[in-house]
Amino acid sequence: MARMKAAIFVDKNRIVLDEKPIPDVGPLDALVRITTTTICGTDVHILRGEYPVAKGLTVGHEPVGVIEKLGAQVQGFSEGQRVIAGAITPSGHSNACLCGCASQDGPGTRHGFKATGGWKFGNIIDGCQAEYVLVPDAMVNLSPIPDGLSDEQVLMCPDIMSTGFSGAERGGVKIGDAVVVFALGPIGLCAVAGARLMGATTIIGVDSIAPRMAVARQLGATHVVDFKQGDVVEQIMALTDGRGVDVAIEALGTQATFESALRVLRPGGTLSSLGVYASDLRIPLDGFAAGLGDYSIVTTLCPGGKERMRRLMQVVASGHVDLSPLVTHRFKLDDIEAAYELFAHQRDGVMKVAITP
C-alpha cells in the first residue's frame, strides 16, 4: 500500500510529520494530491490541546491540489484537474443542507443537524496537511480553479475568505453602511475586504499591530483604531460622529471584543460574530438597551461547498480583492513542524504560511 507524508496530531503540543497509507477512494470521494495548503489559527488550538481531535488524525482544512483519483460515482470532474475544496465539506443531503444551513450538516444524525458538523477535514476525518487528502462528497465539494490563478491566489478561499466575507454577509452590510471589524488577523482582514465588497463606506479596523493595520487599509479600511491608544468604544463613536456602526464584526473570540462590538452598534444594528470563544460570554445590560434595542447578534461558521468556492475564486479572478499580502512565509511540507513553530508563536510578522508538499 502506497504511503504518504502527513502532519499528524500526536498529543498536546505535538503535531509531527509522519507517514500514513494513501487512503482508499470510496464511491463518492475524490483523492486530491495537495499542491499547496496552509495552517489556520484553529490548527494551533488543536496543537495546544485546546480543541480536541483524535490522536493520529491528519490536521489541516485548506486544500489546494490536483484530482488524483475519482470515486466510481463521481461525475462532472476529471482526474488531473486543479481544484480546491472548502474547509467545511457539507454532504449535500442532510436536512441542514436542504434548509440552507450546510455548515451545521449532520448526515449521520437523526434529524440531519449537528452543530459544526460540516467541519470534517482535520477535525473528524483526516485533513490536508499531507501529500494527499480524501475529499468526501466530492460532487458537492470539489471546485475547479479558473485558468490563470495560482495556488497561492486561491489558498485563502477554503477558509479565511469564506469566513471573513460571511461576517459581512450575515451582518447584512448595505451600501453606505458603517462597519467595524474587531481584530485584524487573517479572518478580520477578509471581513474588512468583504465589507468593502458589499458597499460599506466607513470601515473601521481595530487592532494594535501596525503591519496588520496597514494591510487593513489596503483591503478597504477607511480608518484603523489602535485599541491600546485609548478607549476603543470612544474612538469608534468619535469616528462615526457619535452615531455608531450599522454592523460590528467580531473576529477574535473574546469577551472584550464581543462587548465592545455590542457597545458601538447604533440601535437596530447587527453584531456579526466570527470568533471561536473559549468561555461564557456576557451581554452587558446597558449596551443592550435592556433587550429593547432591536439588536441582532449572529454567528457564522465558514460556508463551504463548490458553489461558494466558485464565487470566492471569481472574486480573486476579478482582481477586486488582493489577498496576496496575507501570505508572508513559505515552507515545504517536510518543514511543517517549523511552520507550526513560527505560526503558533506569531513570529516574524507572520500572517499566513503557504505549505507545499
Site for its own copies in 191-230 (CB under 8 A): 194, 196-199, 201-202, 222
Stretch that binds its own copies, among 60-68, 180-188, 223-231, 264-272 (CB under 8 A): 264-272
Q: How far is the CB of 4 from its own copies (least distance, A)?
A: 25
Q: Does 268 bind its own copies (CB under 8 A)?
A: yes
Stretch that binds its own copies, among 14-22, 182-190, 235-243, 344-352 (CB under 8 A): 235-243
Rounded Cα gap, residues 35 and 357, in angstroms = 6
Among 308, 327, 343, 357, binds its own copies (CB under 8 A): 308
Question: 8 vs 316, which CB is nearer to its own copies?
Answer: 316
Q: Does 242 bind its own copies (CB under 8 A)?
A: yes
Q: What's the Cα-to-Cα distance from 212 to each of 36, 187, 209, rounded to whole Å? A: 24, 11, 6
Stretch that binds its own copies, among 72-80, 125-133, 228-236, 334-342 (CB under 8 A): 72-80
Q: Does 124 bind its own copies (CB under 8 A)?
A: no
Question: 229 vs 279, which CB is nearer to its own copies?
Answer: 279
Rounded Cα gap, residues 220 and 352, in angstroms = 19
Question: 23 vs 117, which CB is nearer to its own copies?
Answer: 117
Among 68, 159, 169, 207, binds its own copies (CB under 8 A): 169
Among 49, 76, 211, 349, binds its own copies (CB under 8 A): 76
Q: Does 86 bind its own copies (CB under 8 A)?
A: no
Q: Shortest CA distance to 103 belongs to which of 248, 275, 310, 308?
A: 308
Rounded Cα gap, residues 146 and 227, in angstroms = 40
Binding mask 281-300 vs its own copies (x if CB under 8 A, - otherwise)? Answer: xxxxx--xxxxxxxxxxxxx
| 21 beta partners | 3
Among 58, 104, 235, 257, binds its own copies (CB under 8 A): 104
Q: Return left, alpha or beta for 218; rule: phi > 0 is left, psi -120 to 50 is alpha, else beta.
A: alpha
> 72 CB contacts (<8 Å, ≥6 apart)?
27
Q: Does 276 bind its own copies (CB under 8 A)?
A: yes
Among 115, 210, 238, 338, binds its own copies (CB under 8 A): 115
Residue 248 has phi, psi (to 5 degrees) of: -115, 125
Among 44, 53, 66, 95, binds its own copies (CB under 8 A): 95
Residues from 29 through 68 that contact its own copies (CB under 8 A): none
Q: Does 103 bind its own copies (CB under 8 A)?
A: yes
Stretch that binds its own copies, among 11-19, 229-237, 239-247, 346-354 (CB under 8 A): 239-247
Q: What's the Cα-to-Cα distance from 341 to each of 41, 262, 336, 346, rounded to whole Å? A: 12, 35, 8, 9
Q: Is the Cβ–Cβ distance between 20 and 8 less than 8 Å? A: yes
Size of the site for its own copies (CB under 8 A): 95
Rounded Cα gap, residues 202 and 196, in angstroms = 9
DSSP string, 114-170: -TTTTB-BTTTB--SSBSEEEESSHHHH-EEPPTT--HHHHTTIIIIIHHHHHHHHH
Among 134, 253, 327, 352, binds its own copies (CB under 8 A): 253
Q: Does 176 bind its own copies (CB under 8 A)?
A: yes
Assign 125 to helix, strand or coil.
Answer: strand
The cell numbers describing 243, all together, are 452615531
Match 461558494 to its residue by C-alpha cell.
308
- The secondary structure element, H or E, covering residue 353 is strand 352-356
